[in-house]
């Protein structure tokens, strides 16, 4: 018995200590390197001097040194070598990088079975200053089609991951910021009631993702397809974007102050018809006998104008100031940031201001319990004026400029009175100077995470994580059209629209995870948990018309109208996942999420979203002895995600229709469906990852097949039924595509380092089922139809839902009047090329180009300028309005110089010059080949109607590190 | 001493007691402590998971109710008086939606005016520029078509609600039915005039089993039958609802019945059933000696939630205007009071190679009312039926009432049928200008073509009907 006791004590005593320093190839020590005893849970990280000490159990073990951006080193240790200094070499393929896999766990990139794109903070904002997060992602990821809806300051971008996945309005990915599900709504301002636009989506609203300060971001992970995003269940059809903000690092307090000064100018002017003689004027306006004489008089008086330049020709000033303070000790770490960005647009009186503050704190309450909080307050204001579609409101610049003639004087006289525009319903100079379309946002995002390491032994860890957060947004919109506007006189006599919109989201997740390591190199990770989401929206729009002259207050008008829209959504799910890892050689994952949503016909029915994946690291097997190829992974993954109908789809309701002050009901034109089920996307993904030549070449190749079943769509009903559309579930869509990423480090010397990233991808879609199989022959089948509200009629060109053809195709009519395909808004392929050069120790030069080949746009702006007679001569002989919108863009370019400053206060100063969208090569005839007149929802991209022109930016930077 | 670990056989309390009893090395104590700790942790974890399981099963979502509007089902069973009245008011209000486009689309085709605005299709498609046919998926068809049928649906909902409630008396129920069937028929007549020999769907009450397209002749008979049904329901009915001031003088069952008969006369006229017209016209409110503007009206206001007159155009605004076709100015009779419907334009910019000297002044303000059908039109209907039935003297009498009201004196031309038809169409074109009549009047007499209507630009064509909308399949 005593022997047994001694035995126990000897076993418990058998461990030794290893210590040393970790540095890189240049001899600089590395802070925060993770050192793990392989096959156990025991680990430590290197301190601020690069030193580490670790207790190793047993009499020998393998230590694993890993650090993002560097190749993982494994070293055998035994009690005889207790001092171990390690040098890590750079790894541009980032195999050691850690990536999110479940909701509460992470995995090394080298073991990952899905294609998950990760963009680091330096890649995001390192080349040039970015105005918003979604705009910063161009060209840096494969498989994503990012299209800016319009160039108005404050953003407005549609992000499509692996093709169109939904028609019901939510094609935008789910966005999670530090564990908080945040809103990326596009909130209309109500300007359509003044301009006559058809719907809120035509107002060119900004997307609330613009509130996030890109400089706060540590990394963005994009889970592109169902196989990666399945664990997020019923909101994840369009993919998931996981944003992690910067956290404090223990050690000396770091202070960074950055200042950018920049200029905003129009990217591409279309130009206007130049009128050079009276004869030419008579030719352009043959039924206006007075026109040539008016033109001649204007020329004689020197009052010929270029109204396009007048309106769009401003040079806007941009200033972006950022201050970060971060630091901490081994118990508490903090990151505090404050930033203020102000940007003037290319149209006078437009602009965007954003003020953000952030505080991230991580605190170790005890050895086992840590708490992290992230708090972010944002105040942003935008003035976007009037662009986009309208119906005789006389407000949208694209419309007014299309009909305005350059020989007519529209400037105010000495009394400040603006003349009426004789050729259109509004004077653009008047609208620019006197009308307003503004919004302001106050937003607070708070996340909290509590992590309890319940059990930690050598070969097992049990952890519980509780995280939650809230996103509170208060948005106010303000639209003002004076009563003196020529389209208002005698009709509405002025318009004030004030919107007060509140969105409150909160979510929490509770997870338990258990990791178990066996001696044979097999490890098991089990996760189970619950997740709850609640979204609440309250939109109130107040309108006043018949204004008292010169008044801008809602009270000061004869007619007032209020409308309110309430929406609530709740979701609840439970999740389980099991991952089995055999010695980093084979990694298998299987998991399922059961979700229910109040948006479905049966709010308490659970829908299952399973996933499974297998990754094989061939290069880790013993038989592999190629030194050139250090990683060769084959992977296959399958997953299912869902998307529920948008709020209100379940209901068939009556809407108010009043006469003479008396209220009445009339049937609402959308027929609801109380039996809706979520649409499900199931995806199969195959891929391979290779790392060759000492990690100087990385290749990532993925092929995916994505089937969306039971797609929710608005079908046009025979309007004689009284309804114009109904929501149905019987549409299936397939997206297939290829993604290829190459990372190459061709030159790596101490004086010159060049890393280049090439991303190539394409996607194709096909409607595989509409109604019942077979095309319209069965009586119960659904015939092909034009989806309501996506365009302006098949005559001009529209999307068309038809079995066997791509969902992104544009259709028109053939000679016999039958619908026929006339174009496709899906690009043939996209290529992003990103280069980083380090010259000497001080100079950085980076640039990113983006080539989109194919993808058509229906250019209805040119339809308008043709009628108005202002289309420039070189565009007059273009056939039809569907144009090839291929482009090659120099998206970002930056040159920086770091000046070291060996002083107590300043560590270094960095100067730079950079630009965004400086060069665009395209045959497209209008302002920007990237355009969407219906915002970021549904099938929107690819139709242009007089957008706010896009701009290019040039910046000068100075950055102090203290 | 040997320590025996008997998991599950001793409570943790007992184990603690045992632990304190024995002296042991810190090592074994450590082992025991960690074992105990593991147990308490596992227990805590288990309790947590149990709590989780209980929580998840108890988290139920309520059935969803629309927080933004009342549901259709709530009125279809046991509707209250108030709900039925809200349906009536909503129906009356909705009759106005889309009517503007009905007038501007048919008026453009009939060359009454040109609509100058930002949408090129008003001067391209509608005027058949370069032979363009009308598109079956564009606003000039879908706006009036969809809005007419929305009113029809509302009427069908009202009829179904009335059949399924006991909150109103039988007489009151007939009142609702008479109202619904009359309005429904009036809307179907407007759609039929647009679609002509394409036919229309009449029975559209059930969206799952929508009725077929009915041929033109049968459709007219169905509409007449519907009006007769409504009329019979109105006799002996009582109105538990009120209508807007536009129906002043037509808001009792008997006076509303006169509006019903007026639409019946108009329908029979369009169907060219001249005997029927003569039979019905005397039960309408036609009065050869009375004011011409008597009749039910669409009213507009600036009240909250209300709309403005869609055919009102502000003076001098060329960016959104109805420019009168010059033929109406050139062919006018001197001193005709109806010329006040046209206002001379100050600036005359052209659009799409078209121009005109005058613009619409049909409505004085944005809240001016629009007639549904007035005495003037009934007199013209009476005149036309008389001509077709051979009673030429009576026809001339009726025409003279119109002429004298317009200040141009009695008819002095030849009194034979063909000349009188020409005179009738001329008088209709000015009396009912811009109100959605001319296209159908010209078509009725085979004159909706380039022999009788002007071709302003080479290549323009005259359309005779609207196509069946794309959504009808």
- Predicted pLDDT at A2: 46
Q: How many angstroms away from the CA of B375 is the closest CA of chain A?
A: 24
Q: Residue B115's pLDDT band (boundaries 50, 70, 90)? A: very high
Residue B11: pLDDT over 50: no
The SS3 of residue B58 is helix
Of A40, A81, A74, nearest in space to A57 by CA: A40
* Chain B CA closest to residue A423: B319
Other Cβ atoms less than 10 A from the Cβ of A935: the count is 26
Nearest to B244 among A291, A659, A669 (CB): A659
Cβ–Cβ below 8 Å for A662 and B49: no
Q: How remote is the C-alpha of A937 from its chain's centroid?
A: 13
User: Residues in chain B, how many?
Assistant: 473
Closest CB from A392, A667, A724 relative to B118: A392
Which chain B residues contact residue A290 at CB under 8 A?
A: 348
Contact between chains at A721 and B210 (C-beta distance less than 8 A): yes
Q: Minimum mean pLDDT among A600-614, A762-776, B352-366: which range?
A: A762-776
- Between CA B205 and CA B214, with CA B209 as vertex, the angle to 5 degrees is 75
Q: How far apart are CA A147 and CA A158, in angstroms?
A: 5
B317–A664 C-beta distance less than 8 A? no
Asked whether the beta carbons of residue B244 and residue A486 sit closer than 8 angstroms, the reply is no
Q: Do B137 and A817 touch (CB under 8 A)?
A: no
- Under 8 Å between Cβ of A697 and A743: yes
CA distance B53 to chain A (A): 9
Mean pLDDT of B406-423: 94
Contact flag A403-B354 (C-beta cutoff 8 Å) = no
pLDDT at A55 over 80: yes
DSSP B60-75: -PPPP--SSS-BHHHH
% of chain A beyond a pLDDT of 70: 97
Nearest CA in chain A to B348: A288
Provide, as residue numbers in chain B, all residues whose Cβ is less than 8 Å from the Cβ of A574.
Answer: 56
Among the partner residues B28, B66, B149, nearest to A8 by beta-carbon distance: B28
Chains A, B: CB pairs < 8 Å: 296
Q: Name which of B41, B126, B130, B137 to mutate to probe chain A: the one with the most chain A Cβ atoms within 10 A of its Cβ.
A: B137
Neighbours of A901 (CB within 10 A): 14
Q: Give the angle A939-A944-A950 at the CA atoms, nearest 5°.
A: 110
pLDDT band at B50 (very low <50, low <70, confident <90, very high): low
pTM (2 decimals)? Answer: 0.85
Residues A454, B317: C-beta atoms closer than 8 Å: no
Continuous H helices in A18-153: 121-125
CA distance A716 to chain B (A): 6
Kindly tell me if the per-residue pLDDT of B126 is higher than 50. yes
pLDDT, tens digit, 9 for 90 and up, residues A545-563: 999 999 999 999 988 999 9
Using an 8 Å Cβ cutoff, are B147 and A669 in contact?
no
Q: Does B473 sit within 8 Å of A420, measured CB to CB?
A: no
Cβ distance B96 to A659 less than 8 Å, yes or no, reads yes
- Decide if A287 and B353 are in contact by the 8 Å CB cutoff: yes
Write down the pLDDT at residue B56: 60
CB neighbour class for B334 (10 Å; exposed up to 12, middle 13-18, buried from 19)? exposed
Contact A435, A485 (CB under 8 A): yes
Residue B329: predicted pLDDT: 95
Q: CA quadruple B274, B277, B282, B285: dihedral positive or negative? A: negative
Give the C-alpha separation, A420 to B316, whole Å. 9
Burial class (CB in 10 A: 0-12, 13-18, 19+), B170: exposed
- Least confident stretch, A298-302, A324-328, A456-460: A456-460
Facing B92 at nearest CB: one of A402, A568, A664? A664
pLDDT in tens, A459-489: 888 999 999 999 999 999 999 999 999 999 8
- What's the CA gap between A60 and A78, in Å, rounded? 4
Minimal Cα distance from B364: which residue of A? A490
Calculate the average pLDDT of chain A. Answer: 88
Alpha carbons within 13 angstroms on the beta-carbon side of residue A544 total 17
* Closest CA–CA distance from residue B307 to any residue of chain A (Å): 8
Beta strands A809-813 and A798-799 are antiparallel
A753-768: average pLDDT: 93
pLDDT of residue A554: 92
Q: B309: distance to nearest CA of chain A, Å? A: 9
For range A200-213, the mean pLDDT: 87
Query: A148 near A135, Cβ under 8 Å?
Result: yes
A798-855 confidence digits (pLDDT tens): 999 899 999 999 999 888 888 999 999 999 999 999 999 999 888 999 999 999 999 9
The pLDDT of residue B46 is 65
Q: Which residue of B has its CA nearest to A661?
A: B303
Q: Please say whether the beta carbons of A158 and A137 come within 8 A.
A: no
Please, which contacts does A451-455 make with residues 24 or more away whose CB atoms are closer than 8 Å?
A: A451/A369, A451/A370, A451/A371, A451/A372, A452/A368, A452/A369, A453/A367, A453/A368, A453/A369, A454/A368, A454/B41, A454/B44, A454/B45, A455/B38, A455/B41, A455/B42
CA-to-CA distance for A868 and A402, rounded, in angstroms?
5
Contact partners, residue A399, CB within 8 Å, separation at least 6: A390, A424, A426, A864, A946, B118
| Residue B24 confidence class, pLDDT cut points 50, 70, 90 | very low
pLDDT, residue A80, reads 83
Query: Do residues B454 and B325 make contact, with C-beta atoms less than 8 angstroms apart?
Result: yes
| Chain B nearest C-alpha distance from A587 (Å) | 27
Give the nearest chain A residue to B315 (CA atoms). Answer: A490
What is the rounded distance in angstroms from the CA atom of residue A618 to the CA atom of residue A615?
A: 9
Q: Which of A423, A666, A794 should be substituted to probe chain B, the one whose Cβ sees the most B Cβ atoms within 10 Å?
A: A666
Where is average pLDDT lowest: A130-139, A166-175, A702-711, B76-85? A166-175
Residue tagged 């990372």 (tokens): A743
For an interface test with A, the pick among B179, B325, B470, B472 (most A C-beta atoms closer than 10 Å) comes out as: B470
Averaged over B338-351, what is the pLDDT? Answer: 90
Complex ipTM: 0.81
Task: Return the pLDDT at A34.
Answer: 84
Query: Any idea which of A6-10, A759-763, B330-334 has the lowest mean pLDDT?
Result: A6-10
| Closest-CA residue of chain A to B2 | A1
Q: At what angle are helices B26-58 and B12-21 packed, to 10 degrees?
A: 170
β-partners of residue A887 are A852, A922
Min mean pLDDT across A810-819, B38-47, B188-197, B462-471 is at B38-47
Q: Tell me if B153 and A667 make a contact (CB, 8 A cut-off).
A: yes
Asked if residue B26 has pLDDT above 70, the reply is: no
The contacts of residue A751 (CB under 8 Å, 6+ apart) are A839, A840
Reply yes or no on whether the pLDDT at A403 is more than 80: yes
Write the pLDDT tens digit of every residue in A101-120.
Answer: 667 677 788 888 888 888 88
| Residues of chain B found within 8 Å of residue A598, distances taken between Cβ atoms | 61-62, 64
Q: Nearest Cβ partner of B45 from A9, A399, A462?
A: A462
Would the CB atoms of B154 and A667 count as touching at under 8 Å? yes
What is the per-residue pLDDT for A8?
43
- Using CA atoms, how far residue B122 sits from A76, A396, A876, B127, B134, in Å, is 83, 20, 22, 7, 11
CB contact under 8 A, B68 and A426: no
| Cβ atoms within 10 Å of B195's Cβ, excluding its own | 22
pLDDT of residue A79: 84
Q: For residue A816, what is the nearest residue in chain B, using CA coordinates? A: B133
Partners of residue A199 in chain B, C-beta under 8 Å: none
The reply to whether residue A288 touches residue B349, judged by beta carbons under 8 angstroms, is yes
In whole angstroms, give the CA distance from residue A553 to residue B417: 64
Please give the pLDDT value at position B18. 46
B312 pLDDT above the threshold of 90: yes
The pLDDT assigned to A228 comes to 82
**Spatial separation of the C-alpha atoms in residues B389 and A320, rounded to whole Å:** 85
């Amino acid at each position: 018995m005593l022997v047994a006791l001694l035995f126990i004590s000897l076993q418990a005593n058998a461990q030794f200590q290893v210590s040393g320093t970790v540095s890189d190839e240049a001899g600089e020590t590395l802070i925060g390197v993770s050192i793990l005893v392989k096959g156990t849970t025991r680990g430590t990280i290197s301190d601020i001097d690069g030193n580490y000490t670790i207790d190793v159990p047993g009499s020998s073990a393998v230590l694993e040194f890993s650090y993002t951006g560097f190749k993982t080193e494994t070293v055998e240790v035994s009690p005889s070598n207790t001092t171990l200094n390690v040098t890590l070499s750079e790894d541009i393929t980032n195999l050691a990088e850690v990536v999110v896999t479940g909701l509460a766990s992470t995995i090394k990139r080298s073991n990952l079975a899905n294609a998950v794109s990760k963009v680091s903070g330096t890649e995001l904002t390192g080349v040039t200053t970015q105005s918003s997060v979604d705009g910063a992602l161009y060209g840096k990821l494969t498989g994503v089609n990012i299209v800016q809806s319009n160039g108005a300051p404050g953003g407005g971008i549609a992000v499509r991951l692996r093709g169109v996945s939904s028609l019901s309005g939510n094609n935008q990915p789910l966005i999670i910021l530090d564990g908080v599900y945040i809103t990326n709504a596009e909130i209309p301002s109500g300007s359509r009631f003044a301009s006559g636009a058809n719907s809120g989506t035509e107002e060119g609203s900004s997307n609330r993702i613009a509130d996030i300060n890109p400089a706060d971001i540590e990394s963005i992970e994009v889970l592109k397809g169902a196989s990666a995003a399945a664990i997020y269940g019923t909101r994840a059809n369009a993919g998931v974007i996981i944003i992690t903000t910067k956290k404090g690092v223990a050690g000396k307090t770091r202070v960074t102050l950055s200042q950018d000064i920049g200029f905003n100018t129009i990217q591409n002017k279309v130009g206007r018809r130049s009128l050079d003689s009276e004869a030419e004027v008579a030719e352009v306006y043959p039924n206006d006998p007075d026109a040539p004489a008016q033109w001649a008089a204007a020329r004689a008086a020197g009052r010929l104008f270029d109204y396009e330049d007048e309106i769009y020709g401003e040079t806007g000033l941009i200033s972006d100031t950022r201050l970060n303070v971060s630091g901490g000790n081994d118990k508490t770490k903090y990151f505090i940031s404050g930033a203020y960005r102000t940007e003037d647009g290319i149209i006078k009186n437009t602009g965007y201001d954003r003020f953000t503050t952030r505080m991230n704190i991580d605190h170790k309450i005890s050895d086992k319990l840590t708490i992290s909080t992230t708090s972010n307050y944002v105040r942003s204001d935008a003035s976007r004026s009037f662009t986009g579609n309208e119906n005789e409101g006389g407000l949208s610049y694209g419309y007014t400029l299309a009909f305005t003639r350059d020989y007519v004087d529209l400037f105010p006289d000495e009394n400040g009175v603006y003349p009426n525009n004789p050729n259109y319903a509004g004077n653009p100079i008047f609208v620019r100077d006197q009308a307003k379309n503004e919004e302001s946002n106050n937003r607070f995002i708070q996340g909290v995470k509590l992590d309890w390491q319940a059990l930690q032994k050598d070969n097992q860890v049990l952890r519980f994580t509780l995280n939650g957060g809230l996103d509170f947004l208060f948005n106010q919109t303000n639209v003002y059209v004076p009563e003196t506007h020529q389209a208002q006189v005698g009709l509405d006599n002025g318009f004030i629209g004030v919107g007060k919109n509140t969105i409150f989201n909160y979510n929490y997740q509770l997870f338990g995870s258990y990791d178990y390591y066996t001696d044979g190199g097999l490890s098991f990770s089990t996760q189970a948990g619950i997740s709850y989401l609640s979204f609440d929206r309250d939109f109130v729009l107040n309108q006043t018309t018949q204004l008292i002259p010169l008044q801008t207050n809602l009270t000061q008008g004869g007619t007032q109208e209020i409308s309110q829209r309430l929406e609530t959504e709740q979701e609840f799910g439970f999740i389980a996942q099991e991952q089995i890892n055999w010695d980093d050689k084979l990694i298998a994952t299987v998991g399922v999420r059961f979700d229910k949503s109040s948006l479905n016909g049966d709010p308490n029915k659970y829908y299952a979203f399973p996933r499974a994946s297998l990754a094989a690291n061939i290069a880790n097997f013993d038989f592999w002895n190629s030194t050139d190829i250090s990683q060769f992974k084959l992977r296959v993954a399958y997953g299912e995600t869902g998307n529920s109908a948008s709020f209100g789809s379940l209901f068939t309701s009556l809407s108010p229709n009043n006469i003479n002050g008396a209220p009445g009901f009339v049937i609402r034109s959308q027929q609801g469906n109380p039996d809706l089920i979520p649409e499900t996307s199931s995806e199969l993904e195959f891929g391979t990852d290779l790392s060759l030549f000492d990690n100087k070449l990385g290749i990532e190749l993925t092929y995916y097949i994505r089937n969306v079943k039971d797609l929710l769509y608005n079908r046009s009903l025979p309007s004689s039924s009284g309804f114009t559309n109904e929501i149905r579930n019987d549409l299936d869509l397939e997206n297939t595509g290829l993604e290829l990423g190459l990372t190459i480090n061709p030159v790596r010397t101490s004086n010159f380092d060049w890393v280049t990233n090439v991303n190539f991808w394409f996607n194709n879609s096909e409607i595989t089922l509409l109604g019942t199989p077979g095309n319209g022959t069965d009586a119960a089948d659904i015939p092909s139809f034009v989806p309501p509200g996506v365009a302006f009629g098949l005559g001009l060109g529209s999307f068309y839902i038809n079995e066997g053809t791509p969902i992104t195709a544009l259709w028109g009519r053939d000679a016999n009047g039958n619908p026929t395909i006339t174009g496709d808004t899906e690009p043939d392929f996209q290529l992003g090329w990103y280069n980083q050069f380090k010259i000497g120790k001080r100079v950085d030069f980076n640039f990113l180009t983006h080539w989109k080949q194919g993808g058509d746009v229906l250019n209805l702006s040119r339809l308008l300028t043709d009628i108005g007679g202002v289309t420039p001569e070189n565009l007059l002989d273009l056939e039809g309005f569907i144009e090839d919108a291929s482009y090659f863009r120099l998206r970002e370019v930056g040159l920086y110089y770091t000046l070291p400053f060996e002083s107590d206060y300043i560590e270094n100063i960095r100067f730079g010059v950079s630009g965004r969208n400086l060069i665009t090569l395209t045959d497209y005839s209008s302002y920007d080949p990237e355009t969407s007149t219906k915002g970021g929802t549904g099938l929107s991209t690819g139709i242009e109607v007089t957008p706010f022109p896009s701009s290019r930016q040039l910046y000068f930077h100075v950055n102090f590190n203290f | 001493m040997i320590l025996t670990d008997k998991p599950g056989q001793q409570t943790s309390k007992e184990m603690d007691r045992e632990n304190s009893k024995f002296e042991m090395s810190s090592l074994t104590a450590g082992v025991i402590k960690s074992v105990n700790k593991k147990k308490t942790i596992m227990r805590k974890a288990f309790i947590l998971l149990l709590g989780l399981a209980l929580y998840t099963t108890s988290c139920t979502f309520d059935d969803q109710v629309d927080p933004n509007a009342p549901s259709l089902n709530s009125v279809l069973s046991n509707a209250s008086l108030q709900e039925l009245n809200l349906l009536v008011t909503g129906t009356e209000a909705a009759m106005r939606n889309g009517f503007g486009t009905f007038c501007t689309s048919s008026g453009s085709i009939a060359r009454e005016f040109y609509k100058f605005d930002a949408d090129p299709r008003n001067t391209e498609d509608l005027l058949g520029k370069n032979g363009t046919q009308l598109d079956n998926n564009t606003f000039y068809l879908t706006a009036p078509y969809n809005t007419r049928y929305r009113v029809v649906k509302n009427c069908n909902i009202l009829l179904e609600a009335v059949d399924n409630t006991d909150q109103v008396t039988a007489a009151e129920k007939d009142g609702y039915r008479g109202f619904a069937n009359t309005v429904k028929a009036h809307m179907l007549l407007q759609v039929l005039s647009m679609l002509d020999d394409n036919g229309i769907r009449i029975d559209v009450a059930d969206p799952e089993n929508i009725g077929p397209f009915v041929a033109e002749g049968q459709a007219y008979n169905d509409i007449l039958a519907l009006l007769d049904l409504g009329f019979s329901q109105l006799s002996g009915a009582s109105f538990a609802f009120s209508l807007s001031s536009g129906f002043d003088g037509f808001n009792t069952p008997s006076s509303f019945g006169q509006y019903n008969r007026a639409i019946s006369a108009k329908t029979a006229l369009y169907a060219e059933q001249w005997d029927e017209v003569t039979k019905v016209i005397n039960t309408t409110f036609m009065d050869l000696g009375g004011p011409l503007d008597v009749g039910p009206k669409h009213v507009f206001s600036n009240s909250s939630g209300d709309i403005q007159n869609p055919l009102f155009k502000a003076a001098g605004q060329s960016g959104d205007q109805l420019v009168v076709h010059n033929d109406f100015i050139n062919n006018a009779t001197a001193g005709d009071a109806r010329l006040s419907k046209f206002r001379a334009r100050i600036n005359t910019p052209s659009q799409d190679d078209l121009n005109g000297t005058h613009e619409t002044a049909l409505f004085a303000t944005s809240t001016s009312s629009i007639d549904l059908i007035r005495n003037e039109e009934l007199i013209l209907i009476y005149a036309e039926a008389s001509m077709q039935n051979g009673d030429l003297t009576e026809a001339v009498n009726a025409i003279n009432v119109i002429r004298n009201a317009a200040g141009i004196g009695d008819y002095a031309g030849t009194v034979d049928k063909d000349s009188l038809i020409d005179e009738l169409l001329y008088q209709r074109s000015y009396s009912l200008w811009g109100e959605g009549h001319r296209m159908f009047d010209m078509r009725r007499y085979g004159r909706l073509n380039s022999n009788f209507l002007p071709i302003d630009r080479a290549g323009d064509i005259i359309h005779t009907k609207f196509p069946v909308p794309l959504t009808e399949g």
